[in-house]
Each structure stands twice: as C-alpha cells, then as structure tokens.
C-alpha cells in the first residue's frame, strides 16, 4: 500500500456491515490501497443507530481504524462550510458538514456513497473519492 489515505463516511461503514460478503463492499476494496480513517461524527452516527447486542463488536471494529476527532480547527471549517451552503440555499445535514470539515481539516479525500451532499462543498470537490457499491 502506498501512503494513500482516505476518510470514509458513515454510508461506507453501513454498507460494509450490511453486506453478507464483505469482499463486495466498498470499504473492503478501498482498504487494499488506502489507510482508512473516519471521523468521530461517523462513529457517533454508526453507534447511535445499532442494536445494543452489536455495541461490543463495533467498539472493537472502531478500535482498529483511525478515528479523527472533531476539534476547534474543524469547527471553524465547518462553520465556514455552513455559511457558504446557506448563502447558496444548498444546506445539508449538519453531520455531513462536520464529516466534510474533518476531511478538509486533515487534507483527506472522502469516500462516500452519498456524493450528492458532499459535492455541494467547493473545497471538498477535489477530495471526493466516489465509489459505487458493488453488487
């Protein structure tokens, strides 16, 4: 693996855990060529949406990947993104803004199955690593 890194958003994580055959997931495919990162926002979204019986196994999963915290620098970038989107009447979910800001703050491309929201963010366009979910 080269020194390529990528921030995966929640959609990539959900798709991985829903696939019976993990080898057909986007996460499985991109982890072969990239070092995987995710944000604390994606960790929150994922953990908040799972059943209690899966919490322990998912905590173990999140211990194995690089999780980037949402810090003050990222908050400033997120506020700028929000203001820009609002001025263009193209606002998106706050959590997506926070994930995008994390990618920008850490100069990471973002892998997502929800590119229609992230494409609205000018500074993120060149960092989008869009993937189609394999069958």
Residue 44 lies in a domain: yes
Task: Tell whether 135 is covered by a domain.
Answer: no
Written as six digits, the tokens of 19 are 């696939």
Number of structural domains found in the chain: 1
Q: Which domain holds residue 42?
A: 5-130
We report the CATH number of the domain holding residue 60 as 3.40.50.1010
Q: Encode pLDDT of 21-78 as tens digits.
A: 989 999 999 988 999 999 999 989 888 887 777 676 677 777 888 999 999 999 999 9
Interatomic CA distance for residues 24 and 44, integer angstroms = 25
CB contact at 8 A, 96 and 114: yes
Contact (Cβ atoms closer than 8 angstroms) between residue 111 and residue 11: no
């Amino acid at each position: 693996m080269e020194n390529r890194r990528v921030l995966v958003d929640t959609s990539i994580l959900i798709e991985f855990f829903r696939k019976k055959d993990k080898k057909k997931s986007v996460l499985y495919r991109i982890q072969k060529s990239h070092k995987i990162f995710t944000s604390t926002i994606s960790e929150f979204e994922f953990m908040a949406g799972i059943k209690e019986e899966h919490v322990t196994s998912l905590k173990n999963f999140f211990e194995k990947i690089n999780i980037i915290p949402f810090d003050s620098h990222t908050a400033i970038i997120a506020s700028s993104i929000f203001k820009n989107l609002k001025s263009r009447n193209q606002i998106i979910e706050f959590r997506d803004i926070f994930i995008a800001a994390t990618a920008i703050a850490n100069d990471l491309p973002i892998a997502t199955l929800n590119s229609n929201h992230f494409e609205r963010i000018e500074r993120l366009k060149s960092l989008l690593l869009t993937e189609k979910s394999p069958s």
